[in-house]
Amino acid sequence: MNRISLLLFALSGICFSAKSQRFEKTALGAKVNINETTTEIQFYSPGIVRILKYPASKIFTKRSLSVTKSPETVALKIVQKGDVLMLYSKDLKVVLNVRDGQINFNKSDGKSLLKEKMAGASFTDFNDSGTKSYTVAQSFVLEKEEPIYGLGILQNGKLSQRNQKIKMVQNNTWDFIAFFQSVKGYGLFWDNYSPTTFNDTAEETSFSSEVGDGIDYYFIYGTNADGVVSGMRKLTGQVPMFPLWTYGFHQSKERYKSQAELVSVVKKYRELGVPLDGIIQDWQYWGNNYLWNAMDFLNPEFSNPQKMIDDVHQLNAHLLISVWSSFGPATKQYRKLDSLGALFNIGTWPESGLETWPPNMDYPSGVRVYDAYNPKARAIYWDFLNKGLFSRNIDGWWMDSTEPDHLSYKPSDMDTKTYLGSFRKVRNAYPLMTVGGVYDHQRAVSSDKRVFILTRSAFAGQQRYGANTWSGDVTSSWESLRNQIPAGLNFALCGIPYWNSDIGGFFAGSYNKSWNDGSGAKNPLFQELYVRWLQFAVFTPMMRSHGADVPREIYQFGKKGEPAYDAIENAIKLRYSLLPYIYSTARKVTNDQSTFMRALMMDFSNDKKVLDINNEYLFGQSLLVAPVINAQYTPETVVNVNEETGWNRNVTKGNTIAAVNFEQIKSKKVYLPAGTMWYDFWTNKRYAGGQELTTATSLNTIPLFVKAGSIIPIGPNVQYATEQKWDNLELRVYEGANGTFMLYEDENDNYNYEKGIFATITLNWNDSSKTLTISDRNGSFPNMLTSRTFKIKLMTAGGTVQGAYRTISYTGHKISLKL
């Protein structure tokens, strides 16, 4: 071939070597056929690469349910040397062996990040409900001691997910996301929605999905954990702001049986002076099971629902209400969806039309799950939700069973036809579709009220839908409490920051047996567990008390002056004092792709001791939280139940105990990460990082530390989040390092912030000069404070507060002061 021919061939984008496979240069990277498999390397950004593999005889087209990002124009250099094809962006070097198809991902300097296993891709013929498809798998090779994190909400108690085999099919308490990230600063998202097995062994790490038309995954390089989270959100969607009130305290139980009971709970909190922002109504306000999820108040005990809603609002609280992914046969929704062919024939909750346990199957409920993959079905769902509930000024949605409940499983259930193919093909993405349907439709009709959804399941990309996922109907046990910390951390490391759990655990019947007044809330065993769970929940994105069998309202645990009551009240008030810190952190989550619950490896990856710590974390970037997760005053009781058997109120015999002295001081070991100094939040004593401490605890306190250089705003004593503006904030400055904090404020509950209608004040601490600089206020919004008072307190190395408060007036203009 002469030079002219070579030039024309190169310009056409087709390159080859006489001794190697040819490749095709594409708009996003390269494409090559290797051993009857087509491999495509597509750069979506300099640090995000999509890999597609499929039989060469097929055409693979797919619209991702999770990925929303369009590919960027990326400057690429593509070089082939023999059998090695190299694609360079400014962040990555991707190497493809054009003989065997193996792909290696490297930093731009050539340092290895992740390798596919040689011959690690496989396609096995699979008949997917009459459609020819494949079971697809891909294997990778990780370094021997390389921790990885993510995979969703897992109840296995582990932080690093090495040496695990996990069957990923959404269920009540495990929410699966086929994504992990490594301490080396990369993440991998396996974009498949069918039942998938993740398996990590000494030889390989793999994803294998029951059905797929091809292998489709994304490699994300972010240099560190925050960068990987940022990359995942850029790929699958950003996080909207939640209303300020959602960060307050929420009370719930299974269930308030009348509107009078629900309103009385809010009134009682107001009488007691205990802060409360949300009350949540669980199921059966619609009546019997044949009317399941009617989205209307058909139960005679809710005869005047508008009055109930108005009463709650007049008490300055908000109301969330339960809605499900299924409908009873007597509902209008059922009939309309059935006419569309948008109801599934799979076993779901409730199985019987009668409220009995075990279910009386002589009277089947007829309840069916709706096809959330169908856009017309999602529109019908919203239409009834809007007319029945949103029009009444309900504040948020408790979307239960969004996995959805799949009981009495039969293999043929997976052949069920959905709008997007078999249920098998799209099974794990169900929560994304049903939650997204409500978010998208509410956004379309109103910008005055931010969407807030509490949901039981999640999938990749769900962070873009205003949803806070809880960890399902977990058992009331210390083991379950311990599991919640790594469950929340791994979920956050998948890029989804909003998570919570039922405070006290859901199934608590074992604490309610043989107790002298029939109320497990007076049982010291449950009191200790509940208090510790509540204290942990102070430092989660939503603080929500809920469960069955044992009532959860504060006054059920005693009265003021009694240990359990006082510990509960103090925890709730601590949460409210931190609202300026929490809401400002929420802005960083939305604007800067930050994270609320931060595994210690996110900020201290150079300290090898923290890489697999599963019982401590940062809340925001300043507060180190070490919840008490072992019983200190009472024996632990282990309860083994599941979603089905948990409803049996006679699962275990009760546990009672003689009088307990909750006044004793106890202790707990805490590891302080290296690389910074730490202050005890309660005593202000300072400690060097890189050491394990034995710290004092009481029923009122858990170990809580503040990173040196932090600036923590402390809010006013309020009964609800918006009771007072932040015009008299306390600023605690912790010396020992430079630091910065951005105080964020807006209108609290609309989408005007998306138009730039908000204000920020940046606070900078210079440790060497002991100078605090409060910047000019940036931005504005209606009715904002134009002047305010800051009370400044300097925390010093001696464990004491340096001097009294320094009080200054601030009118929006820069102030610098030495402390």
- The pairing of beta strand 677-680 with beta strand 686-688: antiparallel
**Reduced DSSP (H G I as helix, E B as strand, rest coil) percent helix, strand, coil of the chain, to 5:** 25, 30, 45
Please name the residue that has the structure tokens 């058992």: 475
The DSSP output letter for 398 is E
Which tokens in the block code for residue 346?
Answer: 């799979």
Contact 461, 237 (CB under 8 A): yes
- For residue 492, give the amino acid letter: A
Q: Which of 282, 296, 351, 473 is catalytic?
A: 473
Instruction: Write a three-state SS string for 45-74.
Output: ECCEEEEEEEECCCCCCCCCCCCCCCCCCC
- The C-alpha atoms of residue 497 and residue 619 are separated, in whole angstroms, by 11
Distance CA 268, CA 257 (A): 17
Alpha carbon distance 424, 411 (integer Å) = 10
The catalytic position among 403, 566, 616, 747 is 403
Q: In the structure encoding, which two tokens stand for residue 376, read together?
A: 């017309």
Which structure tokens are listed for 478? 């210390």
Task: At 775, list the tokens.
Answer: 């910047």
Largest CA distance in the chain: 97
Strand order in the sheet with 623-625: 597-598, 617-619, 623-625, 704-707, 677-680, 686-688
DSSP annotation of 664 reads S
Residue 658 CB contacts under 8 Å (≥ 6 apart), including other chains: none
- Asked whether the bond before 240 is cis by omega within 30 degrees of 0, the reply is no
Task: List the structure tokens of 700.
Answer: 């009122």
Task: Tell me the two tokens of residue 228.
Answer: 């990987």
CB 98 within 8 A of CB 111: no
Could you give the CA distance from residue 419 to residue 221 in angstroms, rounded to a whole number? Answer: 34
**What phi and psi values does residue 323 have, to the nearest 5 degrees?**
-135, 155
Active site annotation includes 403: yes
Q: How far apart are alpha carbons 269 and 745 in whole angstroms? A: 27
**Choice among 213, 400, 549, 746 that is catalytic:** 400
| Both structure tokens of 248 | 């307050």
CB atoms within 10 A of CB 375: 13
How far apart CA 175 and CA 114 sit, in angstroms, is 26
Q: Of 384, 377, 357, nearest to 293 (Cα)?
A: 384
- Name the H helices within 724-804: none
The count of other CB atoms within 10 Å of the CB of residue 571 is 24
β 728-734/677-680 pair status: unpaired
- Nearest 10 degrees: Cα torsion 180, 182, 187, 193: -10
State both tokens at 179.
């994504």
How far is it, in rounded angstroms, from Cα 221 to Cα 48?
6
Whole-number Å distance between alpha carbons of 237 and 461: 6
Query: Which residues lie across from 104 on neighbouring strands?
Result: 95, 115
DSSP at 683:
T
Is 473 one of the catalytic residues? Answer: yes
Q: CA 569 to CA 575: how far, in whole Å?
A: 10
Q: Phi/psi of residue 251, each to 5°?
A: -110, 140
DSSP secondary structure of 145-172:
T--EEEEEE--S--SS-TT-EEEE---S
CA–CA distance, 263 with 317 (Å, rounded to integer)? 10
Q: Which residues are catalytic?
A: 400, 403, 473
